[in-house]
Amino acid sequence: MTTHLVWLRNDLRINDNSALYAACRDPGARVLALFTATPGQWQQHHMAPKQAAFIYQSLCLLQGALAERGIPLHYQQCDDFAASLEYLADFCQQQQVDQLFYNYQYEINERQRDAAAEKRLDDQGVICQGFDDSLLLPPGSVQTGNHTMFKVFTPFSKAFVRRLHQGLPECHMAPRARAGGPIAVEHEIPPFDYPLEDFDATLFPAGEEAALQQLRHFAQQPVVAYAAERDKPAVDGTSRLSVYLATGVLSPRQCLHRILKHHPDALDGGHAFVWLNELIWREFYRHLMVAFPALCKHQPFVAWTRNVRWQKNQNHLVAWQQGKTGYPIVDAAMRQLNTLGWMHNRLRMIVASFLVKDLLIDWHDGERYFMQQLIDGDLAANNGGWQWAASTGTDAAPYFRIFNPTTQGERFDPQGEFIRQWLPELAAVPDAHIHQPHAWAQKNNKTLDYPEPIVEHKDARKKTLDAFERARSAA
């Protein structure tokens, strides 16, 4: 009997899991699954404790789902990728594994790990099969007429949609139970030796069933209103699927097919296309990461922006992190992040712009802090978003485009509903003054337990423009 091993990483699901599906195609094969936790590596990558807890809970649920299909899930904690390779090689020898199945990861450390694993296992006579599983289309499959990677999103999106019209990526069913039927879970997975922090399970329930339920709900009606509601942080207008995509509990193909089932015109500009285009943004950043591996090393895409002289102001950085900048929309957003491990997408742009363009603090500091907090942390998307806001990346906002945090708040949270949710100290401030509470307090002889703005936006904007102009001239 041949033995097939599925090496699980960022793909914690049984439905539409390319590696699992392929491993189970031979009905006579013995199929095993393995997950290796690498807390030392996670620490280097700044994984948020909330995300680690979400992964742990999802992994435990996956263990049960695999057992129902007669597939045991083996677990081992190793310190880092190098140690996990040693364990993988030993495990394959002990279990007499003939073939290894795994889904690609596209970050540079992960790609180097997988290349080393293939070489090591090839020497042991193990056949390795990898799959493009976490994307709709493989990296390098959507290119310009000159056969290069797009550097601007809009033409990438148009080319991407054309490719989808030519043929949709296939979704795989969950494997059937193996010939021996369900098995008992003999050993429960112990908690990771990594900081685990409770998360709001009502907003982000762990596991594949919860992910599919949320997708089905969103795809029916909320996706139609997404274009109109997505920028309003006080409204539950987003999908809240990002954590499932980031951890591989849900695949982008499942999202695409589910949306098209309810909205067949989505790829032709229908209402649901606005949300599908967000999936294409996700693809764009991952394709870029493969084409330009320096992005994984936190290098700016626009070379001359290396010359920007960032301010090293620890007090300002801490004020931003703690939501004490004196700008209500920024502070409410940061307190949402610190509490939930999640932030509304419009707010991510606002707070990133504030850190980089108002405080002139290095975008790397913001990128790192987000990864340390986000339950849906994803290197490609997080790096792409921060470089967009910092005007250092491909298809980035021009450096002279600087959000005014006050007017952003007035536009997207006009009555301050979201602000009041996270800044209870401003509860008494009237709607008309919620975005400039100190002006109201001074006029009405009130005292607020809320910090004064740590910078004046107009002056900060000029300072930032000067810094970027000098950096560009130096290049």
Active site residues: 278, 281, 310, 345, 363, 386
Query: Is position 199 annotated in a ligand binding site?
Result: no
Question: Residue 395, Cβ neighbours under 10 Å: how many?
Answer: 19
Query: Is residue 163 a contact partner of residue 280, using CB atoms and an 8 Å limit?
Result: no
Query: Is position 376 annotated in a ligand binding site?
Result: yes
Query: Is position 279 annotated in a ligand binding site?
Result: yes
Query: Is position 141 annotated in a ligand binding site?
Result: no
Query: Is position 285 annotated in a ligand binding site?
Result: yes
H or E element in which residue 6 lies: strand 3-8
Query: Is position 281 annotated in a ligand binding site?
Result: yes
Amino acid at the residue 304: W
3-class secondary structure, 32: strand
3-class secondary structure, 417: helix
Query: Is residue 78 a contact partner of residue 221, using CB atoms and an 8 Å limit?
Result: no
Query: Is position 280 annotated in a ligand binding site?
Result: yes
Query: Is residue 263 a contact partner of residue 272, using CB atoms and an 8 Å limit?
Result: yes
Query: Is position 283 annotated in a ligand binding site?
Result: yes
Query: Is position 342 annotated in a ligand binding site?
Result: no
Query: Is position 239 annotated in a ligand binding site?
Result: yes
Supply angle C-alpha 284, 250, 62, rounded to 5.
140
12: Cβ contacts below 8 Å, ≥ 6 apart: 55, 58, 59, 62, 208, 247, 248, 249
| DSSP state, residue 424 | G
Query: Is position 240 annotated in a ligand binding site?
Result: yes
Query: Is position 377 annotated in a ligand binding site?
Result: yes
Query: Is position 18 annotated in a ligand binding site?
Result: no
d(CA 57, CA 35): 13
- φ and ψ at residue 37, rounded to 5 degrees: -80, 140
314: Cβ contacts below 8 Å, ≥ 6 apart: none
Query: End-to-end CA distance of the chain, in Å?
Result: 63
Question: Residue 314, Cβ neighbours under 10 Å: how many?
Answer: 9
H or E element in which residue 101 lies: strand 99-103
Query: Is position 38 annotated in a ligand binding site?
Result: no
Query: Is residue 299 a contact partner of residue 290, using CB atoms and an 8 Å limit?
Result: no
Query: Is position 431 annotated in a ligand binding site?
Result: no
Query: Is position 113 annotated in a ligand binding site?
Result: no
Query: Is position 420 annotated in a ligand binding site?
Result: no
The length of the chain, given as a count of residues: 475
> What is the residue whose two structure tokens read 């010359």?
307
Question: Residue 5, Cβ neighbours under 10 Å: how many?
Answer: 26
Query: Is position 275 annotated in a ligand binding site?
Result: yes
| Annotated binding residues | 226, 238-242, 275, 278-285, 376-378
| Annotated binding residues for FAD | 226, 238-242, 275, 278-285, 376-378
